[in-house]
């Protein structure tokens, strides 16, 4: 009867979170595990690094106007903490912070 379908639920949750409040793979996996989804199902729905990078850029874009006058050091700290709290990996954070700063501070 398909009342409970972990595959569909995991896909729905990832799509929903990616649309409203983008999150990294680490935080999504933690949330799915907390909801009782097994590790095999979570691994089946893993994002690629490119997908995670685009979500990180989307999440950071909402903060760029607020942080446009910061020095690179301050921007890196704030953006890094923000993206880390959203569950993004450090490789994705590093690339996203550089791109976000360069795109936002070009005269």
Range of the domain at 85: 6-104
Tally of CB atoms within 10 A around 50: 9
Q: Is residue 1 part of a domain?
A: no
**22 SS3 class:** coil
The domain total for the chain is: 1
Dist CA 37 CA 51 (whole Å): 21
Burial class (CB in 10 A: 0-12, 13-18, 19+), 58: middle
pLDDT tens string for the chain (107 positions)? 556 788 888 888 888 888 888 888 889 899 999 999 988 988 888 877 678 889 999 999 989 888 988 999 999 999 999 999 999 999 999 999 999 998 877 54
Q: Is residue 59 part of a domain?
A: yes
Tally of CB atoms within 10 A around 78: 16
């Amino acid at each position: 009867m398909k009342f409970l379908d972990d595959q569909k639920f995991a896909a729905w949750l990832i799509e929903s979170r990616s649309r409203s409040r983008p999150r990294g793979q680490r935080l999504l996996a933690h949330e799915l595990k907390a909801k009782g989804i097994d590790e095999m199902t979570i691994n089946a729905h893993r994002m690629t690094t490119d997908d995670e990078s685009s979500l990180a850029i989307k999440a950071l874009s909402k903060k760029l106007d607020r942080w446009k006058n910061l020095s690179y050091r301050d921007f890196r700290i704030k953006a890094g903490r923000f993206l880390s709290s959203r569950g993004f990996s450090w490789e994705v954070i590093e690339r996203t912070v550089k791109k976000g700063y360069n795109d936002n501070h070009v005269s």
